[in-house]
Structure 1
């Protein structure tokens, strides 16, 4: 595999023309690339001063697409599954192009292979920072006990609460916000993609979001309950509500969990979610001195 087999572009339309069939061939494994590229297509990059998005496809001349790259700075590069030789070719290609790579997010083995290749190619320090598991809903099993209250789809009056919880969720999970909170809220409200669990007196206590259907799948994200309100079953109740509604459309229902949080992993398995694959994020930093 040669570095020039990686074709890089800043043109989203060109990328989707080349890669769409490949991405839709394994939509669960490619779910993040599918949903991010769709958001870029419909809403624009929202770069906030960062570099514009960059895309890439791996294919030998005249051959089919074998893998893709999607990078929305300042976030890590997103990769579909690669073998070590393909990862090494990509590291060479990006280094030759002078493309800065703050980190990588991919299926576990792919992320490790690229981190190793990038370290060897550039001398950067590579550190695994997040481990996640992708789950697919098999058959929804509602919680044995549902807490008092009800689920409702969030509306315009919930904008401030949703923005605050989005910021808290990102901080709680150690991630980076992909959108301005107000823009994130607006995008969720326009398709009913935020559901709240509220107590009998109308107080919101938990959130489960969902992305729009893409390639026959709906991804549940995020699920958040403020720390002081956890342990009452609110997250399970609202996640079951959103999962059931998504499954009723006939879509495949997916979600990611942080493997450092065993409580959430047990919760989703009790609801009927089954593991698909593990993913990892690696961060790259220059050596001191």
Structure 2
């Protein structure tokens, strides 16, 4: 059949258009998810409220002879304050008992070694923190007996480098115990009647400063201690304020609520993206010390 030339050109164009539409319909459809779109554009739509901007660290001195129910009660109290790291002092009962007192998601760092290496262990929640390194640090080779002031075994602190799983923030935490009968509360200075204990404290403070100097710049130095120095009577440069907190620029519960907390402290380096925002004291415990929980919040 003969077609008029203009009509023939129109039919050819229509056929080409139909062929193109058929090919487009048959091609696979590429579906891009919102997450892929964010990755492609390099944008992150996570809100600040979904990223943790705080964590809590506790110090807890254990009374000699405590059993599992008592330790479990006291640990539960400080964990109720959102503590995900606990520095213990005076661990004087069995290792299995202390491990059994912790929740299942927690792990306990008690290095084995000479007498004293495991007196001040650190526990942390594995769901919150990842362990990078741990060791026991000799703080003084000559020290005291807790009640008599006589020379006893070497004193160690337990050190742990922990990285927060969500924020990536890393802390170098150390748990330690200073000598008893160290503080003359009348003068506010050292108790020179226990000169051996005072000198041991000075050696320990020097070693703690070394541990701080060895901390990587991007890590935050955090310490938990039974310091045996009453905070509102620490009036000289020879005790905790003058030998530890001021030289290392640490903030502590010295600046917490009125009345202080006695002799137990959480200390932390100020020059960090996380600063101590508040302290809570838990006094109704089986042990004879308060549990101190310090909450850290991201600056800004």
Is the pair's TM-score, using the shorter chain for normalization, greater than 0.5?
A: no
TM-score (norm 1): 0.30
Q: Which has the higher contact order (CA 8 A, sep 6+)?
A: 1
When normalised by structure 2's length, the TM-score is: 0.29
The structure in which a higher percent of residues are helix is 1
